[in-house]
Structures are given as structure tokens and as C-alpha cells.
Amino acid sequence: MKPATLEFLRQRFMRYYQTGHLIAPPALEEREWGFIFFDPSYPEIRMCRHLAFGGKRELVDYLRGMVPAHAFYSCAYYTSPSAPTMAEKLWNGADLIFDLDADHIARGPYHLMLDRVKEETQKLIAMLTADLGFEERSIEVVFSGGRGYHLHVRDLAVRAWGSQERRELIDYVCGIGINPRSLLAPDRHSTPGWPARYRKALESYLQWLGSLPPEEAVGQIAGLEGVGTRAASTFVQRLPLILAMLHEQTTGPLLKNRIVKMVLSETNKEFLKRLKEHAALADEPVTTDIKRLIRMPSSLHGGSGFRVTPLTVRELPSFDPLIDAVIFGEREVSIEPQGDLSMQLLGNTYKVIKGKISTVPEALAVFLCCRGFAEIAGGS
């Protein structure tokens, strides 16, 4: 990144931190803080961490004076958050954190990736509230400023949970370690949650199989480990009966069927694909890490210039990150793109061409420079 581009970004971020509304997390004095700055090596990551603040005023003064590219705080609460080693900090609990990143979920244009990860976030919220009984008011939704969302669950009942308890929870929402025999048991037919999701995934798979030409359907089943062509052909012929048994709750015989067991195994990618559609595709290591640093809501994301935007559960459906998380405006800025790009922002679509100096709104210039897709034109 050229010095002029680095200074451009630093000045824009400084303007925001001097005038923007900054939100401090609960118990900020008990949290470790970490920052990445606009130094000459940026965007190479060099984090300054093991910091602590005595209150919001001290935190805000630091942000306005130092102007970080990225600001983070710990999900954990510590007795001595500024201690130089994790052992010396003395862990006292942690918020429950979920991270949903579009990079792990979908590929394609940025706006479509954001739409997709928003769907997964809403799915996860439904699991947390309907399945697990968390109250909406205990869940803070945060647009990460980049490619996804964070959920902060601040419920005293889970604050003291260790990594193992959190692993069980993330396994549940991600559908990991599912036991088909338990979920397809006849007495679980009307049970909501994963029993219902599992049946829907199996029904979807069987209906898809039945929609294929017979020889292709047989090939799909014969491709499973240990299943021959003759057995596969018989299974395909009995698909209507198998679907009827699934609907009528007579699933006991199904669970004893050798081919059904292979259909439900982890080697059947077509079934697993449908099962994952019912899971929440959260990043497992983030939830199990009880000392994780997470982006500060209301800070700016140094990889986009977007605001790390806190939301209530009810605000999420109408939230548009390419409008609502955009801080900078339409003042014209000249940039030199490093590649061809088409980008939606602030309700418009912009196109830039590699090497061709373009005049674009400041919001787009900040985004492209943060991403490394452009430099400020002429070094001015």
C-alpha cells in the first residue's frame, strides 16, 4: 500500500473516531483489548494486545488518538486483563460468541455473499431461541464490517462454560455428531428441532433420488460403499414405500435397513449436503475459544471501512450492510484500480477498470483501498 493511500485511510478513520458514536461493551474494564494500526507495514498484521482500559472515556481517547485500523476486545472477563500472559490474567468467564463468515458458506459477488450469510445468521438465531431457549434480549447481533455477522450471547447461565460445553452447543447448531437412530425413532416424529430437520433432509434426499432417471438413481445408490447394483435397483423401486414409512412414523424397519444406513452415513455427500442446509454454518473454533478477541461494535473494519454495526435481533431482517454500515459519503475521490471490479454500494453499482484512473464516491474509495483493490491516484 502506497504512503498516500495509507494516509488517506488513516485520515478518513480519524474523522470517524473524532465524531462517530462509539459503543463500549459491558464490563470493558475486565476485558483484554487488541489493535492493528495503519503503520508502514499495513496491511501486514501486527497486533498490539494485552491492553486494558479503566472506563469508556479512556477507551474513546485511545481510539481518537491512535486511530486503529482494527479494534478488538476479549469475549472473556479477567481479573487482570492487561497481564502479559493468559495465565496471569485470571479468567472469570466469557460471553458466548458465534461467528458466521460468508467465506465459509458461499462464493460469488460480495452482495450475494452478504445476503447468504444473513440467512445463516437468522437460522442460527432461530435455533438459539426456539431450540435452546435463549431470550432475544440476551443476543446482540453484530455485522462484522467484512463478510459476516457475530452473535454475542450475554447470558449469566453460560458465562462460566468452558470449551467443552461450548463445543457441545456449536456441535448442536452445526448438526455435528448426529445419531440417526435417535432422531428417526418413531416416538420422535413430532419432536421439533433436529428430529424434524433430519426427517426433512432425508425426505428431500429421497424425493431428489426419485426425480432422477432410474438408471441414474441406481447409480447413486450403487456408488455407496458396499452396495451392489441389484440391491440399489431394489431400493430405488421401493422409494415410494420408504417415503410412506417415513411419513407414517414406521421408521423402525428403515433403521435396520443396510442401504438406509449407508444413505445416512457421512460418506453420502448428497445427503450431507441437504442436512447442512438445515444446520447453522457457524465457525466452530470461535465459539469454543473462551479467550477469543472479537471486533468492537461501532469500530471500523480496516478491510472495508465499514462500521462494525450492532443490531437487535428484530433489526436484522431489514439491515442492508452495503447501505446501513457505510460511514463515508459521496465526496469524489480519484483512485487507480488494481483490477477490474463491479461493486454494489449505497444503492448503486460501480465499475472500475484496472489501471484506469477513476473518480468514485469516497465510500467506495475507502472500501477499495482497504481491500487493496486500489491506490489513491497520483499519490496526492
Burial of 93 (0-12, 13-18, 19+ CB in 10 A): middle
Q: Are 229 and 263 part of one and the same domain?
A: yes
How many Å apart are CA 43 and CA 39, to the nearest integer?
8
Catalytic residue among 283, 289, 324, 340: 283
Whether residue 32 contacts residue 89, with contact meaning beta carbons closer than 8 Å, is answered with yes
Whether residue 364 contacts residue 8, with contact meaning beta carbons closer than 8 Å, is answered with no
Q: Are 293 and 374 part of one and the same domain?
A: no
Q: Render pLDDT for 304-363 as a digit per residue (tens, 0 to 9).
A: 999 999 999 999 999 999 999 999 988 999 999 988 989 899 989 999 998 889 899 999
Nearest 10 degrees: Cα torsion 309, 310, 313, 315: -50
Q: Are 27 and 129 part of one and the same domain?
A: yes
Task: Say which CATH number the domain at 89 has.
Answer: 3.90.920.10
Q: Are 210 and 143 part of one and the same domain?
A: no
Q: Are 151 and 193 part of one and the same domain?
A: no
Range of the domain at 257: 180-276
DSSP bridge pairs for 153: 96, 139
DSSP codes of every residue in 326-343: --S---EEEEEESS-EEE
At residue 380, the pLDDT reads 47
Q: Are 82 and 217 part of one and the same domain?
A: no
Q: Are 159 and 105 part of one and the same domain?
A: yes
Whether residue 127 contacts residue 98, with contact meaning beta carbons closer than 8 Å, is answered with no
Whether residue 122 contacts residue 316, with contact meaning beta carbons closer than 8 Å, is answered with yes
How many Å apart are CA 171 and CA 140, to the nearest integer?
21
Q: Are 307 and 272 part of one and the same domain?
A: no
Catalytic residue among 39, 61, 95, 101: 101
Cell of 287: 465459539
Catalytic residue among 99, 131, 155, 324: 99
Cell of 27: 464490563
101: annotated active-site residue: yes
At residue 304, the pLDDT reads 95
* Regions of the chain with pLDDT less than 50: 380
How many Å apart are CA 37 and CA 69, to the nearest integer?
5
Residues across the chain:
380
Residue closest to 316 by CA, chosen among 170, 146, 193, 139: 139
At residue 189, the pLDDT reads 62
At residue 27, the pLDDT reads 95
Q: Are 39 and 136 part of one and the same domain?
A: yes
Looking at the 3D structure of the chain, how many domains does it have? 3
At residue 158, the pLDDT reads 93
How many Å apart are CA 21 and CA 310, to the nearest integer?
12
Q: Are 97 and 145 part of one and the same domain?
A: yes
How many Å apart are CA 234 and CA 48, to the nearest integer?
64
283: annotated active-site residue: yes
Q: Are 117 and 189 part of one and the same domain?
A: no
| Distance of alpha carbon 42 from the chain centroid | 25
Residue closest to 308 by CA, chosen among 293, 289, 330, 288: 293
Which amino acid is located at 238 in the chain?
A: R
Residue closest to 149 by CA, chosen among 27, 328, 334, 311: 311
Whether residue 321 contacts residue 143, with contact meaning beta carbons closer than 8 Å, is answered with yes
Q: Are 154 and 295 part of one and the same domain?
A: yes
Task: Say which CATH number the domain at 358 has.
Answer: 3.40.5
